[in-house]
Amino acid sequence: MKSIGRPPAFPYKGATLYADALPVHELAEIYGTPLYIYSLSALRERFRVFDQAFQKLPHTVCYAVKANANVHLLGDLAKLGAGFDIVSGGELERVRKASKPALARTVFSGVGKTADEMDAAMKADILMFNVEGEGELKLLAARAVANKVKTPIAMRVNPDVFARTHPYISTGLRDHKFGVSIKDAARLYAFAAEQKWLAPVGVSVHIGSQITDVQPFAAALKRVGQLVKELRASGRNIQYVDAGGGLGIGYKDADAVRIDFTKHAAEYARAITSALRGLDVHLLLEPGRALIAPCGVLLTRVLYVKQNGRKRFVIVDAGMNDLIRPALYSAHHGIIAAKKPKSGRTAIYDVVGPVCETGDFFARDRRLPEAEENDLLCILDTGAYGMSLSSNYNSRGRAAEVLVHGNAVMLARKRETIQDQMRNELR
């Protein structure tokens, strides 16, 4: 199999940056900025690489909808055989719109499921609920009785494994809000087995996000594998292990070169499958960022270049409402020019947006090609948690989204207007 690192979806041809076979400056002329651009060819290739890494074990790749919920992307993944990991009733409806058959390959995670969401998912006949607490388990049992729907479940167990990632996206320690203690699992599975309309058929785990070292996954799945053996010994018919997601990518240029996706996916697969060897389970996987993040960019136009004291600022038309990760996590995103300047000169800039917050930035003290007003800049690796975390802060409309495949382009989401924002406000 061809080895891939950063998807070759946004190459330079001469001094011009392309999205697949289309110059990005032409997309800006047609659709305006800020603009999210996604490469379908890159997404399809990364899905195939990830899926094939687990080919020796029965499995389903359940894409994490929260990473990027655009229904066109979901529909494209469904055609490749993907299932979905959802965390809300809204995401359930997005999967339904994208592909009704994919509902049968959908798992419902999340710590705050409501009765209405449970009812909707039961009626949609999803694959399984990942239950995150005793109170939720009891409510789910009651809703299954009310709906008279045999409801497959897995308990999300907390393996107390430390994942080296940002504390906001670490989820596998005992003091986190997610899951139940692995020590309480036997009791909760016994309760579930006593419920006429519940079917405890799986064990679920998820230790966090943006994890590039595969060893924490191996440690977590080793504990899950032992739990599966104990549950089966007590008569539980465990058929599924949901390994969650969390595989990270290289956001910095050096990491993007170092983290070759084909090799990384293979290492990840070995870490997980070795821990489950001999268990005869169907493995569920919930990648999000690992699939979609490098397949998307945020295209933004330079409004002004200014200097305050020793600081030089590039002020662009995208803001933290469009991409909040740098402000929220101090996350790094590569930034490149849509057209390389002929001079070849560079300068140190803070790249900032127009939002009325000092935290509205995309880069600080970053060396970039010398910028001028009306230049276009491309913020890399924004396919995940870009649009899905966007907002209307400062009454700014959300960006448009386009999908490219070769020399074809499709508008996947219109630019939001102020009329769109105020439509549901009553006066």
Q: Which of 7-11, 110-114, 232-236, 310-314 comes out lowest in average pLDDT?
A: 7-11
Q: What is the rounded average pLDDT of the residues 412-420? A: 97
| Residue 258: how many other CB atoms lie within 10 Å | 12
Q: What is the pLDDT of residue 48?
A: 97
Annotated active-site positions, please?
A: 356
Beta carbons of 59 and 79 less than 8 angstroms apart: no
Q: For the chain, what is the mean pLDDT?
A: 92
Choose among 90, 177, 192: nearest CA to 139: 192
Residue 7 clears pLDDT 70, i.e. is over it: no
Helix or strand or coil: residue 40? helix
The CB density around residue 335, as the number of other CB atoms within 10 Å, is 21
Cα–Cα distance for residue pair 375/340, rounded to 1 Å: 10
Query: In sequence order, what are the residues at sequence separation of 6 or more whose Cβ sits closer than 8 angstroms to the Cβ of residue 17?
Result: 10, 11, 23, 24, 25, 336, 337, 338, 339, 378
**Tens-place pLDDT, residues 34-92:** 999 999 999 999 999 999 999 999 999 999 999 999 999 999 999 999 999 999 999 99
Which pLDDT does position 342 carry in this prediction? 84
Task: Please report where in the chains the tokens 């960006």 appear, as a residue.
Answer: 399
Output the six-digit token pair for 395. Answer: 């009454």
pLDDT, residue 165, reads: 45
Token pair 């799986």 is at which residue?
A: 202
Return the closest-CA partner of residue 399 out of 58, 27, 151. 27
Residues 6+ apart with CB under 8 A from 310: none
325-379 pLDDT, tens digit per residue, is 999 989 999 999 999 988 889 999 999 999 999 999 999 999 999 999 999 999 9
Alpha carbons 74 and 99: distance in angstroms, whole number:
8
Q: Quote the pTM value.
A: 0.93
Give pLDDT, residue 176: 57
Quick: pLDDT tens for 100-139. 999 999 999 999 999 999 999 999 999 999 999 999 999 9
| Distant-in-sequence, close-in-space partners of 427: CB < 8 Å, separation ≥ 6 | none
Q: What is the pLDDT of residue 171?
A: 43
Query: pLDDT tens digits, residue range 133-169?
Result: 999 999 999 999 999 999 999 999 988 765 544 343 4
- Residue in 378, 361, 345 with CA at minimum distance from that of residue 34: 378
Tell me how far the alpha carbon of residue 340 is from its chain's centroid. Answer: 31
Residue 260, exposed/middle/buried by CB under 10 A (0-12, 13-18, 19+)? middle
Query: For 17-26, how does the pLDDT look when each residue is reduced to its tens digit (9 = 90+)?
Result: 999 999 999 9
pLDDT at res. 250: 86
pLDDT confidence of residue 190: 97
pLDDT at 3 over 70: no
On the question of pLDDT at 179 being above 90, the answer is no
Q: How far apart are CA 15 and CA 375, in angstroms?
A: 13
CA distance 85 to 245: 10
Report the alpha-carbon distance of residue 68 to residue 289 in Å, rounded: 8
Distance between CA atoms of 85 and 106, rounded to whole angstroms?
A: 6
Identify the band that residue 207 occupies on the pLDDT scale cut at 50, 70 and 90. confident
Rounded-to-integer distance, Cα 123 and Cα 110, Å? 18
How much of the chain exceeds pLDDT 90, in percent? Answer: 83
Can you give the pLDDT at residue 168? 39
Phi, psi for 19 (deg, rounded to 5): -110, 110
Peptide bond connecting 11 to the previous residue in cis, omega within 30 degrees of 0: no
Q: Over the Cα atoms of the chain, what is R_g? A: 23
List of residues 6+ apart from 221 with CB closer than 8 A: 205, 241, 243, 271, 272, 275, 276
